[in-house]
Structure 1
Amino acid sequence: MSDRLYFAPNTISVVVAIALEVAGRDYELVRVPIGPDGADSPNPFRLVPVLETPAGSVREVVAILNYLADEVPAAGLLPRAGLARAEANQWLTFCASSVHPVMKLIFRAYRYAGQDEAAQANLKAHVVPVLERTFATVEAQLEGRPFLLGDTWSMADAYFGEFSAWGLNRIGLKGASGPNVARHREAYLAHPATIAAKAREKAATEAQPNPTPA
């Protein structure tokens, strides 16, 4: 049995697909609805990604990436142990707790501010500066180093790299154009695993235009 990755287009589930590509795992992409329409999703919180493996299911990006890193240590998804692994998890958690939730406030402002457009605009106006400061932190971290952990690539780079692309293309953050962040994002987008995962996600999205509950 191969792995099965439950995904939705234009979500962070693509990062798990990248990890599966790097690890050389055989996997299938299954598109599912999320949010209010995802009542029967494999994730009780109606979110993606969910990775179904022969050993069981795992949800949440940070948990999935750590699981895969331990399952295929030779792939180098994350440092194997010790302080280096802890530092990688610092950046994974940073992405999961300081970047993604704030971006959701922009992408789905109606969920938090209601249907009033003025209220949504006010929310976004307060949120964007928070993201700018977040990206400034990464800009400083990348000064004089190619990757978040220094000279060694890890899935933390893929995780932030996808958010960096969102920040530039979907939000228009000034911080996404900082020289270090821009260089880092270009390397992420040019990574063979990124290219392969995005191509597979596009093909799966086109082949499954109307997702059905899992």
Structure 2
Amino acid sequence: MLKLYYNPGSCSLASHAALEEAGLAYQVELVDLTRDIQFSADYRLKNPWGRVPALQIGDETLTENVAILNYIADSVPGRELLPRAGLARARAIEWLALLSSTVHVAFRPIFRPGRLAATEEGQRDVAATGLAALQSVLDLLDERLGDRPYALGDRFSLCDLYLFVFALWSRRPALAARLGPLPRLDAFGDRLAQRPSIAAAMAQEGLAWPAAVRAA
């Protein structure tokens, strides 16, 4: 049995939806970030970095979405949730790495300015500077997605579940009317929110796909 350690609406949603997509039997355990459970001694035995997600696989625990998504895809090869090999697989890893590093990190100054500055004034400066940087990253992401239905083109992959997380984050109240138009990312999110795997994971986590409110 697999057990996913998650927090609602965090990046662990990608791995949660991937387990649904793969049709694998799994359990979930909430790691309440609002109570700093991720820093507890018990959870640090699972993930010493104090982050979600973590996937327990028997006596082993795997961390990081990029690794977990690859493991899930390889667990059900017949479903081809990621390309199997060669340049196509490398392109998928390229997308996952981009989302894990550049895109994820771009949200941090807005959602967690306290990790980057100690004073209130410093945090306000971090958030203001970070908003411009986030807009630039999301504009490039919107451009890269283009008019294709999925990250890798015409075929769905687990890259799309990870990309969906950031489409969801772009609609958080903290960013309402603060981001410029992201038409392709919005359309992508609208489509993916209807996918059964995402809908099931979001329902389990008590989430809903919100309407977009973009700056003019």
**Which bin holds the TM-score, normalised by the shorter protein?**
0.7 to 0.9
Q: Does 1:13 align with 2:17?
A: no
Residue of structure 2 aligned with 1:135, choices 124, 129, 138: 138
> Which has the larger displacement, 153-162 or 34-43?
34-43
RMSD: 1.8
- 1:147-200 CA distances to partner (integer Å, 9 max, x unpaired)? 11110111111111111111122423525x422111111112111100101112
Residue of structure 1 aligned with 2:112, choices 93, 108, 111: 108
> Structure 2: which 5+ residue stretches go unaligned?
208-216
Query: What TM-score do you get using the length of structure 2 for normalisation?
Result: 0.86
What secondary structure is seen at the aligned counterpart in 2 of 1:67?
A: helix
Q: Structure 1 residue runs of 4+, over 6 Å off?
A: none
Deviation at 1:16, TM superposition (A): 0.5
Equivalenced residues, count: 200
Structure 2 CA distance, aligned partners of 1:99 and 1:139? 12
Q: Does 1:4 align with 2:26?
A: no
What secondary structure is seen at the aligned counterpart in 1 of 2:206?
A: helix
Deviation at 1:54, TM superposition (A): 2.8
Structure 2 CA distance, aligned partners of 1:16 and 1:75? 16
> Which has the larger displacement, 188-197 or 36-45?
36-45
Name the % identity.
Answer: 35
Q: Does 1:26 align with 2:29?
A: no
Which letter does structure 1 place at the counterpart of 2:81?
A: L
Query: What TM-score do you get using the length of structure 1 for normalisation?
Result: 0.86
Deviation at 1:101, TM superposition (A): 1.6
1:3–1:27: 8 Å Cα contact kept in structure 2? yes
Structure 2 CA distance, aligned partners of 1:44 and 1:54? 18
1:65–1:77: 8 Å Cα contact kept in structure 2? no
